[in-house]
Structures are given as C-alpha cells and as structure tokens.
C-alpha cells in the first residue's frame, strides 16, 4: 500500500532511545544520591576533625602573640616551622577528640536518630571550653615556669596557693578576654559547620551496609593521626622539636595533647618511693662516694682538643668481648682494637634501656627505675651534656642513628644538648630500610665516612648503632650456626663488630684521624649469653674502649670499677675542661676516687664495689643478691644513692 504524507508510521528506535534515556536518568539519579550520601558522611566527619585542627592552630597563634617578645626572636621560616611541626600533634589530639563523635556518627547512620548529632554537640560544647581553659592557663604558666603545661599542676591540687603564687602578677583580665575570644571563636566555628549536618535518609539494606562500612572505616582511620603516622615509634614531644631555640620547640607543642600524654606517662609523680633513710644521712653517704678526689690524673692525650667519635654500641655486653673474658671469635675487630688503646675492664651500664643509657653516657646523670628523665623534655633541658660543653670551646656536634630519633624522646634530648646536625632513618633512602629499626650499621658507618671527608675540626660525632637489637637480622652471612635467639644475638653482635672494624679501617686513612679520640661503649648490657637474671651484675657489665690517633698511650688496661655516668667527666678533664656540673660522676683515672658502680633495674638497684655486688628489690624491700664481702654500709650507700638520685630527678 502506498504511503501518503498523512499515513502514520510506527518506529522502534525512538522507543529504544526513550528507554535508554530513562535508564540513564535513573542511574544518574541513583549515583548522585549515592555520592550525596557518601559526601554527607565524609563532609560531616572531616569537617569535625579539621574543626579541632583549626582551633589548635588558632591556639598556637595566640601563644605566639601572647609571648611576642620571644616570638620576635624567631625568623619567619622558624615561625612557619612551628606551625608545620606542631600540625602533626594537632592532628593527633584532634583524632583523640574525634573518636567519640565518629562513633556517634556511626550510630546515627545505623539508627537515623537526631539525638546522636545532639550528643556530638553536647560533647563539643563541654569539651571546647575546657580545652580553651588549658590553653589560657598555659599562656601565663609558661611565662612563670618556662615549659608547656603538662601534669605538673596535679602536684599542687592539695596546695593550690603554690601554683597561684607563680602567676600572682598575671594579667588576669587579658587572660579572661583571651579565654572568651577562644571559646566564642570555637563555638561559632562549630555552629557554622553543624548547620550543614542532616539526619540520614531512609535507604535500602545494601546502601545502609555501605554507609556503615564507610563510617566504621573513618572511625578506624583515626588510629593513624592518633599515633602520628605509620612509623614504628608513636608520636611524642620529640616530633615537634626542630630548632636550637627552645622557645620555637615549645611553641610547637599542643597543650591538651601534652597534658594527656604527661598524665598517661605518670610524669607528674612527686613522691619519692625510695625513702630509705633520713635525708641528711642519705646525702652524706652519697657525698662520701664522690670524695676525696686526686689533685692530678694521668694524661692520655697528645692533643688537647681532639676530635671525638663517641660510638654507642647497641646491647654490647661485656660477656661477648674477648678482652673482657668472652669468646674471642665474636668480636675479632674489637679485640684487635683493644691492643691499640685503653680498655676499661669493669664498667657497668647505669640502666637497662637505650634511652636511659643515653642520658648516663652523654650527661653523666643517674638512671631512674620505672621511668626515664629523657621522656620529659622540660627535665632534660636542665641536664649538662657533652655536646653542649664541647660547643663552648668551638666544637661542631653531630649525631648519627639509623633508626627514628623520636624513639623515647631521644630527639628532644639531643636538641636540648645543642647538637648542630641530627641524622636518622629518614635521611637514608627507603631502599636501605633493611632492618626493622631502620638501616643496618655498615650503611650508617658509610654515611658517616661520606659526611666526614673534609669536616671542620674540632668535631664531636656521636654514633648509635642498632643492628644488635632485636630482631637480630643481619645483612651478611651468619658466622655461627643455629636459630636460637641467643645465637641470633651472637650473629648480630659479630656483624656490628664487622661493620665497626670496616669503619675504623677507613677512618684511619682520613687526615683527621691523628687528631681524633674514639670512644667505644655500650648503651646497656644484655641477658645473653646465659640468660642473666634482671638484676645480675653480669647483665650490666659493658665494654669501654678508647682508641685513636689522639691517644698518647696504647695497649693499656684500666681495672677501676666505674659507670657510664663517669665517662664524660673523665673525657672533659683530659681536655682541661670544667666538670663541676656533672655532680653524679667521678674520674675513672683518679686513683683516689671511690671505685663503685650503681645501676637500676625495674624497681630495684645494684651496687658494685671491689668488695662485691649487692642487688636490692624495692618491692620486697630486701636484697636479691648479696656477695660475701658486701658490708652493711655498702647496702646503705646503695639505698642512699637510689633515694637521693631519684629525689634529684623529681626536682628537675
């Protein structure tokens, strides 16, 4: 039948196009709804988190403005670094404060109840004035005390007048005004972001499940900023320390985080748990240990101000050193070096942890039992340090470690000690991260040699090895067969000796070698070999060896009993430098000095003298070990040392 122009024509294609358009529209609408739901959850969570971050940045700016005279001493670059380095701590505490709100957000998604959003608001309205109060109190207390607010005020709860006396001249009305401004800014900011929050709409079970998973993921994700990142060592005060100007480091600290951290770590302890004797009696017994002193000591150096390589060997127990009675095959290089210098046979670590040994070695300061002074930067600011003393006479100071210096707050301690240069794990390429703790010892030594091709002299270079720490993995073929933990430790010990020998061999060819003194000493001992008890003197006995072109004597053995705390003053006196502020030290070369070593373990102490060793358990209040020659006075002196040294720590 022929078609006319009025004949209707039915086509399939437009129908298909209409169906496709409807399908596309449905998919687009569904996708937009999904994106809206995801965006709503993400926006709500992230806006709350960054609300706190921004508030902490405002608080930091307030601190810098309040202390404008100190801030004026900082460069623009240093001020920007205050904010940059402090941001990580701000993220951490913002994450802590977001845990409960994120959990309430999760409940709201699940139950679609407005009450959960109201609870978030209630939580914030209560917490924000408290945080602002801590920040405001810190503004003036910093002027009086010189450190950022922590748990210290807890010791004044029973005597608040003492704390108020520190701020008697405070500009109260200015502080009240600043407090009000911070609270108003915080509440206004929160109210603005809160207006955009809505209750979750109804959705299908699949959509609900997806939103719950997203909310749970965001809650779990808070772990990352809380601990400061993926790194092995969680965030601590050291992570905001970047400058030799202590105010710049202090300004980067997040005050609420600092208070919380201090309370958790119990650094506010003020009562001495080791009150054995009357205070005057205890002090007299300790003073007796450090007197009399000889008028002169033998000179070991042919150079008055030598370069100093201070090498701290991880876990280097005397039990594996051939020259100290150990097997000869474990440390062949160390044994050979002992013939070239001065080997001290009876030196004991002051404690059983690296961070404790660090303070004993570099500050000549006694170790604490269940805590460590290095964990409290405001206390370590008051300690003398080898680097600071040598810088007074023109030395440059650097510190090399293959791991993370944030470990146990070591970084803040070193910055307080005025080191010019700090090298750690992040300064090595990630391809070299072949150990759990960082880079292996031979790579660390290679870095030092590379950096010391033409160094400015005189210099102090402190080196801390790590490969002989658990898990004892080594990058060279193992020397001793077996998979037992003790054998693994033995192989790691051998590897560090190999790396050390390799380093010294190259260093001897450097033009600065003839003017250099090398100090080799352990950070602490080890239970292996033999699985020593925690208090055993043999666990704490460590090597101390001095070598180098600056030495005037060789192949010498010193049998005096001494401690890590005695090393720095011994060095300084050889250089003709004052040691008066190293009050807890004696000269290892002074024939008239009292030979003894004091060390601590978990809630107990050990005291070693030529008469024998005694170890004491503070919990049981009785000796664990008491050798036959130990007198009642030696035990009493050990108690006195524990009492007075911990009392000094509390007063720092």
**How many Cα atoms occupy the beta-carbon half-sphere of 129 within 13 Å?**
7
Please return the burial class of 193, using the count of CB atoms within 10 Å of its CB with bins 0-12, 13-18 and 19+: middle
CA distance linking residue 371 with residue 358, whole number of Å: 14
pLDDT of residue 21: 57
Q: How far apart are CA 522 and CA 59, in angstroms?
A: 43
Cis preceding linkage at 396, omega within 30: no
Please state, as a whole number, how many other Cβ atoms lie within 10 Å of the Cβ of residue 384.
21
pTM score of the predicted model: 0.81
- Identify whether the C-beta of residue 250 lies closer than 8 Å to the C-beta of residue 142: yes
pLDDT at 161 (0 to 100): 45
pLDDT < 50: residue spans in the chain: 1-5, 7, 9-13, 15, 24, 26-27, 31, 156, 158-159, 161-162, 165-166
| Residue 366 DSSP class | P
Give residue 146's pLDDT: 75
Mention every residue, 6+ apart, whose C-beta is less than 8 A from residue 241: 85, 249, 252, 377, 411, 412, 415
How far is residue 349's CA from residue 352's CA, in Å, rounded to a whole number? 7
pLDDT the model gives residue 16:
52
| Count of CA atoms in the C-beta half-sphere (13 A) of 515 | 12
295-593 classified as CATH 3.40.50.2300:
no
Pairing relationship of beta strands 307-313 and 459-464 according to DSSP bridges: parallel
Sequence-distant (≥ 6) Cβ neighbours of residue 59 within 8 angstroms: 132, 135, 182, 255
Q: How far apart are CA 442 and CA 448, in angstroms?
A: 10
What contacts 440, CB < 8 A, 6 or more positions away? 402, 432, 434, 466, 467, 474, 475, 495, 499
Q: Name the residue among 484, 483, 601, 610 with its Cα closest to residue 539.
A: 601
Query: In three state form, how does the secondary structure of 170-197 look?
Result: CCHHHHHHHHHHHHHHHHHHHHHHHCCC
Tokens 């004949």 appear where?
7
DSSP letter for 393, please.
T
- Give me the count of residues in the chain: 652
DSSP SS3 for 624 = strand
């Amino acid at each position: 039948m022929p078609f006319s122009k009025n004949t209707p024509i039915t086509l399939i294609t437009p129908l298909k196009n209409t169906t496709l358009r409807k399908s596309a529209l449905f998919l687009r609408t569904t996708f937009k709804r999904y994106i809206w739901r995801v965006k709503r959850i993400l926006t709500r969570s992230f806006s709350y988190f960054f609300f706190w971050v921004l508030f902490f940045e405002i608080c930091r700016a307030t601190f810098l403005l309040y202390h404008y005279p100190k801030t004026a001493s900082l460069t623009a670059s240093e001020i920007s670094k205050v904010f940059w380095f402090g941001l990580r701590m701000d993220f951490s505490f913002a994450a802590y404060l977001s845990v409960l709100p994120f959990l309430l957000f999760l409940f709201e998604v699940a139950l679609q109840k407005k009450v959960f959003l109201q609870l978030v608001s209630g939580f914030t309205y209560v917490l924000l004035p408290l945080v602002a109060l801590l920040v405001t109190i810190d503004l003036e207390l910093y002027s009086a005390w010189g450190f950022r607010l922590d748990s210290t005020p807890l010791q004044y709860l029973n005597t608040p007048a003492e704390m108020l006396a520190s701020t008697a001249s405070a500009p109260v009305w200015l502080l009240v005004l600043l407090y009000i401004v911070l609270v108003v800014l915080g509440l206004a900011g929160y109210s603005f972001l809160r207006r955009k929050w809505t209750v979750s709409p109804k959705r299908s079970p699949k959509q609900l499940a997806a939103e719950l998973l997203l909310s749970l993921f965001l809650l779990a994700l808070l772990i990352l900023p809380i601990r400061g990142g993926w790194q092995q060592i969680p965030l601590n005060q050291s992570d905001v320390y970047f400058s030799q100007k202590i105010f710049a480091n202090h300004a980067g600290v997040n005050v609420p985080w600092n208070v919380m951290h201090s309370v958790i770590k119990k650094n506010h302890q003020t009562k001495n748990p080791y009150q054995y004797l009357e205070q005057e009696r205890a002090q007299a017994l300790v003073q007796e240990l450090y007197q009399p002193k000889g008028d002169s000591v033998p000179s070991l150096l042919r150079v008055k101000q030598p370069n100093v390589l201070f090498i701290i060997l991880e876990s280097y127990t005397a039990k594996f050193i051939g020259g100290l009675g150990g097997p000869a095959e474990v440390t062949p290089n160390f044994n050979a070096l002992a013939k070239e210098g001065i080997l001290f046979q009876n030196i004991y670590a002051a404690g059983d942890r690296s961070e404790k040994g660090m303070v004993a070695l570099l500050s000549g300061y006694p170790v604490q039992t269940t805590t460590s002074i290095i964990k409290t930067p405001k206390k370590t600011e008051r300690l003398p340090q080898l680097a600071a003393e040598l810088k007074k006479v023109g030395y440059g100071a650097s510190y090399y470690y293959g791991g993370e210096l944030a470990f146990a707050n070591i970084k803040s301690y070193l910055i307080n000690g005025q080191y010019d240069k700090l090298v750690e794990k992040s300064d090595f390429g990630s391809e070299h991260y072949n150990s759990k703790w960082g880079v292996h010892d031979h790579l660390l030594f290679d870095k030092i040699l590379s950096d010391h091709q033409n160094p400015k002299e005189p210099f102090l270079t402190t080196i801390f090895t790590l490969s002989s720490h658990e898990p004892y993995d080594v990058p060279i073929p193992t020397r001793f067969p077996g998979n037992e933990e003790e054998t693994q430790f033995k192989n790691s010990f051998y590897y560090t000796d190999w790396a050390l020998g390799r380093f010294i061999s190259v260093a001897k060819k450097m033009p600065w070698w003839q003017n250099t003194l090398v100090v080799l000493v352990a950070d602490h001992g080890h239970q292996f070999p033999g699985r020593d008890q925690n208090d055993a003197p043999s666990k704490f006995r460590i090597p101390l060896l001095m070598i180098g072109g600056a030495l005037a004597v060789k192949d010498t053995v010193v049998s005096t009993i001494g401690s890590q705390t005695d090393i720095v003053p011994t060095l300084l006196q050889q250089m003709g430098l004052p040691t008066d502020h190293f009050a807890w030290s004696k000269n290892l070369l002074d024939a008239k000095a009292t030979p003894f070593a004091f060390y601590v373990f978990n809630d107990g102490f050990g005291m070693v003298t030529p008469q024998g060793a005694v170890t004491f358990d503070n919990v049981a209040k009785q000796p664990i070990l008491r050798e036959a020659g130990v007198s009642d006075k030696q035990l009493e002196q050990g108690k006195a040392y524990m009492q007075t040294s911990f009392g000094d720590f509390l007063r720092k």
